[in-house]
Structure 1
């Protein structure tokens, strides 16, 4: 994480100071000090954070008071793609819930920007050279397919913003909040190794971006630590993966690790076409949440995304940047939620795919 620069003559205690003193993540400290319950935080840890906050002279939630002096008391939300709530799907909706709840706690209004570029045209922050987000004191950016040059321009102009999702922008260090994909993936592969799986098939995307790179880093770390055998395939979006998966299972792969939830459906469909039982004959892990109807129960194994917590933390980081621009840029990774599911089991031997006719 980039070191934050104090303004001259200032010595205000921040949550980062408490986190450092306690040997904890800033996300954990922030959750306790904001009064948000979490089953992952023990009572002992909570009391230690509260005691340290008192001894270090931390003023609880100063952002709400100091943000009141902002230009407009408006926080913007801008997306590069139409990822806002779609009826029946559970994808970006939880991001918005977290953003809204935290903005309300800080007594800020939210303004949704959907770009004025026109139908069928790529979304853009700028119109006629003017930053359209300027009406807001600062903004949260999210969505894939971003124009990285204009994100860099926004940073260079000093406009406060936070990206949801890690973004490495050439020529600019920006603030972002994301899930800790690497650690979560490492834990998934560690579980497979503990269940006796020695050969894994990894199904990834053809053009990996930062979240996929982080997932693969966690996969590679676990593979090396447990001395596992692996094959990595990155099929095109429209490719039929039945044959590729079948070939790997024939030579001894006992588990499939799917890099993105978007690939989950076609991989499960391919396994079914091969006539294999999950997890009796082959284990399948999905590295994240799928966009599925919320009424359906999520039964796959892997990990879940802390969508709401990411949204809330993005607002907290944005508030800090608005109050004191010298604190940025900030990089925050939040832990994912383990998902035991029903698609991982003990490794079995002697399986043979039998493609259904």
Structure 2
């Protein structure tokens, strides 16, 4: 039965197929678990009804004809084009793009959404907008747990670039193995004879910072040593260097954007890096520091994280249910020997610092 004189509706499809409009909507728009709730027999009835009524001319039905549109979105919580941090974000985006080309899917950039102005998708009612695509890769530091919780509730395929926690569910992600990499850096310093090793944090409350802190604490505890942590220190006042020297600290593992400022402050005080103070950088800085320093520490697998995030989205779109263990991936970081750490100095070889500097 072809509907004459007007465009066919979901109600027409439902009547012809002998199912509810909810079932038609689930077949058309559902993904993952939601779509698998519909049996193959019912799905075929809905598809036949779509063909008979002409509803296939609707974009949603065209999406259904192949099971999906083969379009995956990218949503960034911070602007990446153009931006001072573009060099940091570029490898993530390149990884997503390369994997999309390999997998035969197209990418859709969501550029008019709310995260860029400090609001969640949920608070502005924009979550549904992501459903223009089959699934979405999410990227950015300033994310919101309520967005992830809502996407999980809707059974919408997504993956975050970086580990994220969502209240009441397990958010899919492709993360860097920051804890393991930080532990390896601390172990190298221990092998060089350092025993007073401090962690200098950018800020607290972010999963990537928590992972680094966990790796540091575990490595120190395993060596029978007391962890010493400085959170968001003021590097311009000299108080951090006073505390490091006063506590006999000979090495610091530093989250990425604080490493260069700490090194500059130490040099200004008359300390030699690494002879007097070893500094290891825990990842790539988001903001280029403009200095040619061969840093010891590790590099973030940014390209791999972007590529894996898209793979995780595609696993959720596959006909077979994805193994939950395959939806949360931690990727090893690349350890770098560098030249900013050295063997622990003997106590009487450390020079008197220039406290006027």
Residue aligning to 1:253: 249
Q: Distance in 1 between matches of 2:240 and 2:290?
A: 32
Q: How does 1:323-342 map to 2 (within 5 A)?
A: 323-324=318-319, 326-327=321-322, 329=324, 330-342=327-339
Name the SS of the counterpart of 2:185 in structure 1: helix
Matched, 1:291 2:291: no
Q: By how many angstroms is 1:184 displaced?
A: 0.2
Residue aligning to 2:143: 146
Name the SS of the counterpart of 2:307 in structure 1: helix
Compared with structure 1, are the counterparts of its residues 356 and 301 closer, same or farther at alpha carbon in structure 2 (3 Å cutoff)?
Answer: farther
Q: Distance in 1 between matches of 2:79 and 2:273?
A: 34
Residue aligning to 1:226: 223
Q: Distance in 2 between matches of 1:183 and 1:112?
A: 33
Residue aligning to 1:319: 314
**Greater shift after overlay, 215-224 or 121-130?**
121-130
Q: Distance in 1 between matches of 2:142 and 2:86?
A: 21
1:180·1:334 contact (CA, 8 Å) conserved in 2?
yes
Matched, 1:174 2:171: yes
Residue aligning to 1:269: 264
Compared with structure 1, are the counterparts of its residues 89 and 110 closer, same or farther at alpha carbon in structure 2 (3 Å cutoff)?
Answer: closer
Q: Distance in 1 between matches of 2:154 and 2:236?
A: 46
Matched, 1:183 2:180: yes
Q: By how many angstroms is 1:243 displaced?
A: 2.0
What is the alpha-carbon root mean square deviation over aligned residues?
2.9
1:125·1:131 contact (CA, 8 Å) conserved in 2?
no
User: Deviation string for 1:127-181 (max 9, x for gaps)?
Assistant: 5466111111110011122221122111110110001111111112111110000
Structure 2: runs of 5 or more not aligned: 1-31, 38-63
Matched, 1:91 2:88: yes
Matched, 1:133 2:130: yes
Q: Distance in 1 between matches of 2:166 and 2:115?
A: 26
Length-normalised TM-score, structure 1: 0.74
Residue aligning to 2:232: 235
Residue aligning to 1:196: 193
Compared with structure 1, are the counterparts of its residues 315 and 126 closer, same or farther at alpha carbon in structure 2 (3 Å cutoff)?
Answer: farther
Q: How many residues align?
A: 293
Q: By how many angstroms is 1:115 displaced?
A: 3.4
Partner of residue 244 from structure 1, selected from 240, 245, 254: 240
Q: Larger Cα Rg: Structure 1 or Structure 2?
A: 2
- Larger RCO (alpha carbons 8 Å, 6+ apart): 1
Q: Distance in 2 between matches of 1:274 and 1:194?
A: 27
Q: By how many angstroms is 1:98 displaced?
A: 0.7
- Name the structure with the higher helix share: 2
